[in-house]
Amino acid sequence: MADKSTQWTSSPVDALRAAASPRVEDIDFTVTPGFSGSKSDGTALLAERGEVLAALQEKLYAHGRTGGNRSVLLVLQGMDTAGKGGMVKHVIGMVDPQGVDLASFGVPTQEEKQHHYLWRIRKALPRAGRIGVFDRSHYEDVLVVAVHDLVPRQVWEKRFDEINAFERELVDEGTVVVKVALFVSPEQQKKRLQERLDRPDKHWKYNPGDVTERGFLPQYRAAYQRVLDRTDVDHAPWFVVPADRKWYSRLAVTEILIDALEKLDLQWPTADFDVEHEKKRLAES
Ligand code: AMP
Ligand code: MG
């Protein structure tokens, strides 16, 4: 059997980094950057790599339980049907849910509207030893907010520097921040919305506003381009992930997470008791 890991011809962390990716308007949504294998190769590899991810996550959790301060934050952005929910289910779903702090961000509530836009974000940050996942994030405050002029341009313009400083602060406190932008083609998005309409078990996911947003695609592209231009920084990198092939986007995000966890370079906590003595006591009990 071929070693499926070698089907990565270049590391997704390099191949997908925003700085190395095409402009948003030129993204090819169906390609599988860095990966030469087929869908079945990718699916098989995902299951294998899921075990690696789970072991690394357990080590992070053990680190947190023994007083360590490190954590990982995965920011997921993308338009409706880009696969954010599927990423949570199929990638994050491969690790122990005890170690995950998941938050999703919708239209701000009345209470949230009365606070600074980072207020609700700060409250949802991952605890030590956890993988935090943001299904949408503070980036909505420079994406949908800019597209629909929800605040004046001079207000959201200032947010890029503020977001960079905020993420710098998170990194300094021990969080590894990785940001994934999922890009689905308009055609594929149409198919996925159609499926939501055709299947009664998917109606709950359908929002008439999603079709309205399709009329703003050029504005969203420009808004995403600004985000990538202004906030793809080494301390909190953006990865641009083509999302028409779900098997690829899930595999790519798995690798991005594995890389983030490996960079923590954690060790299993050592026992704070005498192991040999305890073995003896147990045997005698
Ligand atoms: P969903 O992810 O399908 O649950 O949809 C959440 C909706 O909330 C999307 O339409 C987002 O654009 C919207 N949303 C999230 N954050 C904000 C925000 N800060 N301001 C306005 N709308 C937002
Ligand atoms: Mg939705």
- Taking the whole predicted model, whether its pTM rises above 0.85 is answered as yes
How far is the CA of 43 from the CAs of 46, 65, 258, 266, in angstroms? 5, 33, 16, 28
Check pocket membership of 134 for ligand 1, CB cut-off 6 A.
Answer: no
- CA 162 remoteness from chain centre: 20
| C-alpha–C-alpha distance, residues 174 and 4, integer Å | 33
| C-alpha–C-alpha distance, residues 82 and 106, integer Å | 16
The 10s digit of each residue's pLDDT in 51-70 is 999 999 999 999 999 999 99
Burial tier of 247 (Cβ tally within 10 Å: 0-12, 13-18, 19+): buried
Give the domain CATH number at 127: 3.40.50.300
The 10s digit of each residue's pLDDT in 205-226 is 999 999 999 999 999 999 999 9
Looking at the 3D structure of the chain, how many domains does it have? 1
The 10s digit of each residue's pLDDT in 166-216 is 999 999 999 999 999 999 999 999 999 999 999 999 999 999 999 999 999
| C-alpha–C-alpha distance, residues 60 and 130, integer Å | 7
Check pocket membership of 140 for ligand 1, CB cut-off 6 A.
Answer: yes
Report residues near ion ligand 2: CB below 5 Å.
Answer: 80, 207
Please say if the pLDDT value at position 81 is more than 50. yes
- Protein residue with least CA distance to atom 22, ligand 1: 107
Q: Looking at the CA of 135, which ligand is closest?
A: 1
| C-alpha–C-alpha distance, residues 212 and 284, integer Å | 71
115 CA to centre of ligand 1 in angstroms: 16
Query: What is the CB neighbour count within 10 angstroms for residue 152?
Result: 8
| C-alpha–C-alpha distance, residues 20 and 239, integer Å | 9
Q: At what angle do helices 39-65 and 246-264 cross, to 10 degrees?
A: 30
CB 180 within 8 A of CB 169: no
- CA 168 remoteness from chain centre: 17
- Protein residue with least CA distance to atom 20, ligand 1: 107
Looking up tokens 């239209």 gives 107
| C-alpha–C-alpha distance, residues 175 and 167, integer Å | 9
Query: Where does the pLDDT of residue 6 fall: very low under 50, low under 70, confident under 90, or very high at 90 and above?
Result: confident
| Parent domain of 89 | 4-284
Residues of the chain above pLDDT 90, percent: 98
Q: Which of 107, 119, 163, 216 to mutate to test the pocket of ligand 1 (most atoms within 8 A of CB)?
A: 107
Check pocket membership of 107 for ligand 1, CB cut-off 6 A.
Answer: yes
Check pocket membership of 255 for ligand 1, CB cut-off 6 A.
Answer: no
How far is the CA of 196 from the CAs of 53, 81, 185, in angstroms? 31, 10, 17
